[in-house]
Each structure stands twice: as C-alpha cells, then as structure tokens.
Amino acid sequence: MTKEAILAFSQAKAEPVWLQDRRQAAYDAIDQLPLPTIERVKFHRWAIMDNTIAEDETVANVPDFTALGDNPKLVQVGKQTVLEQLPAELIEQGVVFTDLPTALETIPEVVEKHFGTALSFDEDKFAAHHTAFFNSAAVLYIPDNVEVDQPVEGIFLQDRASSTAFNKHVLIIAGRNTKFSYLERFETIGEGDAKASANITVEVIAQAGSQIKFSAIDRLGDNVTTYISRRARIGNDASVDWAIGVMNEGNVVADFDSDLIGNGSHANLKVVAASSGRQVQGVDTRVTNYGNNSVGHILQHGVILERGTLTFNGIGHIIKGAKGADAQQESRVLMLSDKARSDANPILLIDENEVTAGHAASIGQVDPEDMYYLMSRGIDKETAERLVIRGFLGAVITEIPVASVREEMIAELDKKLDKR
C-alpha cells in the first residue's frame, strides 16, 4: 500500500484536506514509531497491521433490526452503515450520531477540533497505522447542556465472511455539562471462515462538567486478531464511568486509558474479561492524573478457562503538579483450569506529594468454602461454580445500563463455560 493509494481513498470519501494530510503524516510515521508497551503480553508477531484500505466489501450477514429497540443507535456492518436511529427531539437539540462522512458535512469544525486529541497518531506504531488505514468511522456529538435519558447505542459488527480489515474509529464528543449513557458493542456475526485483523480506536472527549457512563461489550470472533484502544480526555469536573466486558474469542490486546486533564476530573474503570481455549487476551488499563484533586479508580476482574491466557496491567500515574490526586486499582483473576495462565500487574507511578494511591492484585482458583456452602444447600457443582463466577464478575455487569445487554453478557459467559 502506497501513500498515493491512501490519498486516493481519502479523496474518494471526500475527506477534508486536514484529514488527508493527517493520514499521510501517519503513514510516514509508522516505521519510525515503536509498538505500544503492553507488559507481559507477546503480541509483536500478531497480524494486526493490514496495509490495505480501498478494497470493496460485500456484507453477507445483516442483523435483525426488529429486535434492537427504539433507543438512539447507529449500526455498522464492516465499512457500511446499515441503520441510524435518532429521535426528533435530540436532532432538534443538535445531537449528531452518524458516520464520519456525514459528520464532516454536518459539524465539520467540531470533528476537526477533536479528532485525534485523545489519541495522537504519533503515540506509537499502532496509532499511526490506524490513522493512516482506518476504513470506517462513527461520530457521536452531544452539544453543551444536553441530557439524554435513553442509552445511546453504537453497534459495530464484523462479518465473519469478510477478510476486510476491521479498522474502526469512533469519536465521542461530550459538550460542557452534558449527561448521557453510551453502550458500545463490537461483535462478529454470521458464518464463514475468513481471517481478519482489527485495529480499533475509540476517542472520548469529556468537556468540563460532562458526565458519561460508558458501557461496552467486545465479542469479536476467533477469526479476528485485534488491537483496540479506548482513550478518554477528561476536563474540569467531568467524569467518565467505564464498564467494559472483554468477551472475545480470538487474540486481543485491549488498551483502556483515561487522561484526567482537568481539576476535579474523575474516571472509574471497571473491566471484566474471560479467556478460553488457547486465546491470549492482554488488558492494559491506565489512568493518568494531570489535574488537581482528580480521581482515577481501576477495578479489573477476569476468568480463565482451559488453556487461555489473560493479563491485567493496571497503571496509575500521578503527574507532577497534580495536588490532591487519588489513584487506586484492584486486579483479580479467577482460574478454572490448571493449564490456564494469568498475570496481574499493578503499577503505580507517583511524581507528586500530597496524593493518595494504592493497589491490590490476586490470582487464584474458586474458593472451596464458597463451593461447599452452595452445594450444601442442594446446588449441583456446575451451577454453584457458575454462581460464584457471576458474583465475581458482577461488579461490572451490574453497571451496564440496559437490562437486555446485561443478560447478553451473562449468556456469553455461560457460553464460554459450556465449551469446557
């Protein structure tokens, strides 16, 4: 793939000059930048950077829209947008939830101002590759002082029959003093045996006073090798509460970062993950405190089955000058097989006095006392084990705002358990 081909793709999409130039600069930077640092995860030979961008994609599998409900939502299958649903009252208030080409026509200045501010293309090799080669995108914009009562849902589906790279960019811009819940799903659907790569970036811009509840379920299939970066830039007195379920079937590196830029900013990250078969999943969760009295908490719980591998890296970094900052983290892993492998690595980097910080980490098997208690009440071993696991992961599952999606996550976990 050449720079000329990338430029031709960008021009064919009628992207503005600033984005064409950004793609070109990112392409030039790929070979000069290092891979991201993900401790104790050997992903360097994974086939993530697919250097194609312009090939056509035929959608063989389309979801059933009748079961999706009437809340605000955007559905994309591969590179194609197949459903946009936004109530008239939100449109009247200036809310935008659409694909990138439409957003560039509707709110061009807003997109140009914020695109790439949470994750710059020159941060590492994967970020540069993504910026050069992303082939589809979505933009959610909530203007100042708007509150959305219903969850806003982004559904991004990878077609198992397609080998096209799943290089998705999602840009979420929360104006000042906004309040809303956002639910995101990355999922493989349909039948087929095509292998694909995914290099996904989700940027969340939380401006002053905004409150975002961000829930996500990742269920990409065993045919997809994935790198996904979710990054939030959080302003004064703004907050982002994350609840993320990492339930993929293939090899995945997930990088979840919150930059607490503003004074009084908050980030609360809750992550659950389940690894099974021979898959490798590395979850790197970071909070960086820049602002005074900023608060960042990380809670990670994981379950490993069969020969799966799961690594949790929790990083809390308090920057010099962040007086009164608070950085706390907890990572715990439950192993259900003697052949499973896990690491839970707590890392604290403290460059300031007058702060609060702490961490905890553990790896173990199901508590035999819990099992004994449940089985003594007439519950069989398999059901008792499921109840223990659900309780262990419940801290995140209960944070998801849509009951049907909570049930989906539990069903996905049960599906993994049934494969043993």
Residues 6+ apart with CB under 8 A from 132: 6, 23, 24, 26, 27, 30, 121
Cα separation, 277 vs 419, whole angstroms: 9
Looking at residue 47, its pLDDT comes to 92
> How many whole angstroms from its chain centre is CA 72?
19
Residues 6+ apart with CB under 8 A from 311: 38, 39, 40, 41, 281, 282, 283, 342, 343, 344, 345
Q: What is the pLDDT of residue 417?
A: 76
Distance CA 84, CA 311 (A): 36
Taking residues 278-304, report their average pLDDT.
96
191 pLDDT higher than 80: yes
In this model, does residue 1 exceed pLDDT 70? no
* Token pair recorded at residue 145: 């002082």
Q: Give Cα 311 to chain centroid, integer Å.
A: 16
Contact present, 146 and 95 (Cβ < 8 Å): yes
CA distance 364 to 369: 13
Confidence of residue 152 (pLDDT cuts 50, 70, 90): very high
User: What's the average model confidence in pLDDT over 396-403?
Assistant: 78
pLDDT tops 70 at residue 143: yes
Whether the per-residue pLDDT at 200 is higher than 90: the answer is: yes
Query: Which residue from 195, 201, 194, 148 is spatially nearest to 175, judged by alpha carbons?
Result: 148
Tens-place pLDDT, residues 47-84: 999 988 866 666 666 767 666 778 999 999 999 999 99
* Residues 149, 172: Cα–Cα separation, whole Å: 17
In this prediction, what percent of the chain has a pLDDT beyond 90? 78
pLDDT level of residue 383 (50, 70, 90 thresholds): confident
What lies within 8 Å, CB to CB, of 126 at 6+ separation is: 35, 36, 48, 49, 199, 227, 229
Angle 408-413-416 (CA atoms, 0-180°, nearest 5)?
Answer: 130
Q: What is the pLDDT of residue 56?
A: 66
**pLDDT by residue (tens digit) across 250-272?**
999 999 999 999 999 999 999 99
- Residue from 213, 63, 224, 240 nearest 150 by CA: 213
> Does residue 396 register a pLDDT over 80?
no
pTM over 0.75: yes
Distance CA 200, CA 55 (A): 18
Q: What is the mean pLDDT of the chain?
A: 92
Query: What is the mean predicted confidence (pLDDT) over 92-111?
Result: 98
User: What's the whole-number mean pLDDT along residues 190-209?
Assistant: 95
Mean pLDDT, residues 105-131 taken together: 98
Look at residue 66 in the predicted model and tell me its pLDDT. Answer: 66
What is the distance between the alpha carbons of residues 279 and 223, in angstroms, rounded to a whole number? 11
Q: Flag whether pLDDT at 248 surpasses 80.
A: yes
Type and span of the H or E element at 59: none
Does residue 136 surpass a pLDDT of 70?
Answer: yes
